[in-house]
Structure 1
Amino acid sequence: MIAEKPPIQPVPPVAAQQIRMVESTDIFRGQTEIMIRHEGVIYRMKITRQGKLILNK
C-alpha cells in the first residue's frame, strides 16, 4: 500500500513593503530642474524637452 502525501499548501506571499509614490509635479513645482542633496552630495534632476528625467551628479 502506497501512502498518499498530503497536498502541499501554497505559501502566502510575503507582504510587499509599501513603496511611497511621489508625483513629479509635486517635486518640481513648475520648474524643470531641481537639486537633490543625498548623503552630502548634490545631484541635479532635470526634465528634458521630451518629458524624460535625467539625474546627474
Structure 2
Amino acid sequence: MTPNEPDAVPVVLPASQTQRIVESRELFRGENEILISHDGAIYRMKITRQGKLILNK
C-alpha cells in the first residue's frame, strides 16, 4: 500500500495473490454518482436507492 491509497486493504486470495479493496464511500465522497474515465471512454457509476451499484458507459 502507498500513502495515496489510505483505504486500500490487501486481501489474501486462495492462489496467494493480493487484491486491493477500495471502499465505495471513498470513491463517491457523499455523492450518488461518479464519472470514471477508462481507456478513453467515460463511464457513470451510480448508487441506487436500494444501495446497489450500476455502471453504464
The RMSD of aligned alpha carbons is 1.3
Give the Cα separation in 2 of the matches to 1:21 and 1:15. 17
TM-score, with structure 1 as normaliser: 0.72
For this pair of structures, how many residues does the alignment match?
44
Structure 2's unaligned 5+ residue stretches are: 1-13
CA distance in 2, matches of 1:32, 1:51: 10
Quote how far apart the aligned CAs of 1:15 are.
4.7
Moved over 6 A (4+): none
Q: Percent identity?
A: 68
Q: Please, which runs of 5 or more residues in structure 1 have no aligned partner?
A: 1-13
